[in-house]
Structure 1
């Protein structure tokens, strides 16, 4: 049955990429999380989507120009009085030891090719013994190949937003276990073709009821959604069927 990944946590109701959003996604019953990582000036792996902190926090500036100590002072929960820091990847992985969630770590190294990011993420995943519960994805496919070569035991998946012909052939050529395409670029034939060829399909970002119905009907591997609660509600309709 299709798995549900909470996009940046339960971001429809909580501040994205915060521990609150991740904990809420787990409580809601999501199978997994999707989160984004960048590197601070002092090489700490932090969980934030944008290269700059401006949109999602009370601070401003590029993540790469700020130290971990500086970045932790910002409030990643802008809409609330309740202050919440940008999480470190360590914090998330430690918490993951208390549950069974799968986690898709997206390396945000398309704009800035953070030196050594892959090795740092892999080192932490190995340290917390979570290799079998992590998927490393990126729009930077060189990074995906490097991750696979460094840690063949950790699943990888290229992210892309255009129509690729027989994407499972491409995925297999870079030793990726899955593909993470933009939903708009995805036909049912592609989904079925990839799954038949042993490649998992996890489209992003699936928020509309009609899209959820469509993907559940054809048993897509997973969906990446901002609203795991809605996704689970719709999924239950399919679980009852014989």
Structure 2
């Protein structure tokens, strides 16, 4: 069965990468969530996609230049104020893991360390995963494949998945070579043959960000392990057609 991961939570409707979006993804019947992590000025792991807070909050500046306390004051639901009046803080990874203790959700943590290397971030994330005993329910992904390889060497018990948006020749071989059990390609390059060959070699394929219904039909019928979408409700309805 193709698992449905809510991209930054149920972000088609709710403010991305907020606890509200994650809780609503669970209510919508998603199997898992996908989120992004960065490091604050005081070394805390926070859940936010961009290196700057400008697009998703009512604040300005870089995540790395603000403390957790300063970031928590910002409203991550600011741009969807017409729909949601509540203040939605930027979550810490600890907050997400605490919430995961109340459910069975799987979580794909994307390490956002391509622009700023965020020294020590991998170790901090891995330590938290171990502390919360979540190794069976977490996948670590990144466009920074050096980071992915580091995670595999330090914590081989946690699944890793390289992200890529360009065509990669025989990605299942590449994945095996770096110890990754899965790959997360952009859906436009996740051709049916690539999915089938990878899955045959024991490499799970979870394309991102799949929002077109036609593509959901194609990927689910091809039998990919999972798909990452902004709209888990639509994906779930389409999956039911194939069950």
TM range (shorter): over 0.9
Which residues of 2 match residues 61-80 of structure 1 at below 5 A? 61-78=61-78, 79-80=80-81
Shift of 1:186: 1.8
Deviations 1:24-74 (A, max 9, x none): 000111011000000000000000000000000010100000000100000
Aligned to 2:11: 11
Which residues of 2 match residues 154-233 of structure 1 at below 5 A? 154-233=158-237
Distance, in Å, in 1 between the alignment partners of 2:100 and 2:197 is 32
Aligned to 1:148: 152
Aligned to 1:127: 131
Which residues of 2 match residues 76-91 of structure 1 at below 5 A? 76-78=76-78, 79-80=80-81, 81-91=85-95
Secondary structure of 1:131 counterpart: coil
**Is 1:113 paired with 2:123?**
no
Shift of 1:173: 0.4
**Is 1:33 paired with 2:43?**
no
Distance, in Å, in 2 between the alignment partners of 1:16 and 1:211 is 22
Aligned to 2:23: 23
Q: TM-score, normalised by structure 1?
A: 0.98
Shift of 1:140: 0.2
Distance, in Å, in 2 between the alignment partners of 1:138 and 1:88 is 19
Shift of 1:216: 1.1
Distance, in Å, in 2 between the alignment partners of 1:172 and 1:214 is 25
Shift of 1:218: 1.0
Distance, in Å, in 2 between the alignment partners of 1:124 and 1:186 is 32
Task: Name the Cα RMSD after superposition.
Answer: 0.5
Shift of 1:155: 0.2
Shift of 1:164: 0.4
Gap regions ≥5 residues in structure 1: none
Distance, in Å, in 1 between the alignment partners of 2:111 and 2:65 is 18
Distance, in Å, in 1 between the alignment partners of 2:95 and 2:64 is 19
Shift of 1:82: 1.3
